[in-house]
């Protein structure tokens, strides 16, 4: 007979084993991609994407030494950050599309926002961080990455490449934001190598104006090798680490 307690420990033992095996495989894959690209693996960080997975998975990954976690939905992330407030040293990254009316909530818990794609959103985040600092719920500025739209269809998020310089200057002038770099997602059914090559060119021009914005958040489960070839410093990986997400519209 297996009691509730035994079942719970057995299951969590299994999940720990699963995540630990997947993590080792993924770190090996990132390492191999770096070596193939002639890059130092220390220059590419793994950002585990834990959206749709429970806080208990984040706690397991924390036990396996991870400290940064990516989330894409404000409500889910706000709840998880609150539930795990006692885990030491956690840095939450907001990677999904963000509406301006959620900026205030995100500014309370986010270490980095990867998806800033308008001056109005940046201004709202700056105000949110100021309020959070005044309320003593956060200390430092918010790191932000500007999301560049590689898609010709502007509906899918990201600033148009032509508008990137003006947005970068705007963000650089905001007191509570730190312009840390760029982020992009290749369009569906595109050749990631070609898209990341375009992104690398935009990044070169961006760095000439903002030399401290060296972060490049690019690459996911399916295309991280291509992203690493083109200079990614942060790969955002969900499925290849956590397993398949439930099918949703979000």
Structural tokens at position 115: 């998806």
Contact with ligand PLP (CB under 6 A): which of 96, 181, 192, 213? 96
Query: Among residues 122 and 241, whose Cβ is nearest to ligand PLP?
Result: 241
Q: Please check whether residue 159 is in contact with residue 183, taking contact to mean a CB–CB distance below 8 angstroms.
A: no
Contact with ligand PLP (CB under 6 A): which of 142, 218, 220, 234? 220
Query: Among residues 96 and 128, whose Cβ is nearest to ligand PLP?
Result: 96
Any contact of residue 94 with ligand PLP (CB under 6 A)?
no
As a whole number of angstroms, the distance between CA 19 and CA 43 comes to 23
Any contact of residue 116 with ligand PLP (CB under 6 A)?
no
Any contact of residue 146 with ligand PLP (CB under 6 A)?
no
Q: How far is CA 173 from CA 119, 123, 176, 206, in A?
A: 11, 10, 9, 15
As a whole number of angstroms, the distance between CA 8 and CA 66 comes to 23
Report the alpha-carbon angle 127-138-78, nearest 5: 85
Site for ligand PLP in 24-53 (CB under 6 A): 49, 51
Stretch that binds ligand PLP, among 12-20, 53-61, 122-130, 234-242 (CB under 6 A): 234-242
Contact positions toward ligand PLP, by CB under 6 A?
Answer: 49, 51, 72, 95-96, 185, 220-222, 236-240
């Amino acid at each position: 007979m297996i009691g509730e307690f035994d079942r719970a420990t057995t299951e969590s033992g299994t999940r720990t084993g699963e995540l630990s095996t997947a993590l080792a495989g993924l770190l090996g894959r990132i390492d191999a991609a770096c070596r193939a690209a002639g890059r130092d693996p220390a220059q590419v960080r793994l950002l585990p994407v834990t959206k749709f997975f429970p806080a208990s998975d984040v706690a397991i990954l924390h036990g396996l030494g991870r400290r940064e976690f990516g989330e894409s939905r404000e409500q889910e992330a706000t709840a998880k950050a609150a539930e795990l407030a006692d885990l030491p040293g956690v840095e939450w990254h907001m990677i999904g599309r963000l509406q301006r009316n959620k900026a205030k909530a995100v500014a309370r818990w986010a270490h980095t926002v990867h998806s800033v794609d308008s001056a109005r959103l940046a201004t709202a985040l700056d105000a949110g961080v100021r309020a959070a600092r005044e309320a003593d719920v956060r200390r430092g500025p918010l790191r932000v990455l500007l999301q560049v739209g590689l898609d010709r269809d502007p509906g899918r998020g990201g600033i148009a490449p032509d508008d990137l310089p003006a947005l970068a200057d705007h963000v650089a002038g905001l007191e509570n934001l730190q312009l840390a770099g760029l982020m992009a997602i290749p369009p569906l059914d595109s050749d990631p190598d070609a898209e990341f090559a375009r992104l690398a060119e935009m990044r070169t021009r961006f760095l000439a104006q903002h030399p401290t914005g060296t972060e490049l958040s690019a690459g996911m489960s399916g295309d991280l090798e291509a992203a690493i070839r083109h200079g990614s410093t942060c790969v955002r990986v969900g499925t290849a680490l956590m397993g398949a997400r439930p099918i949703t519209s979000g």
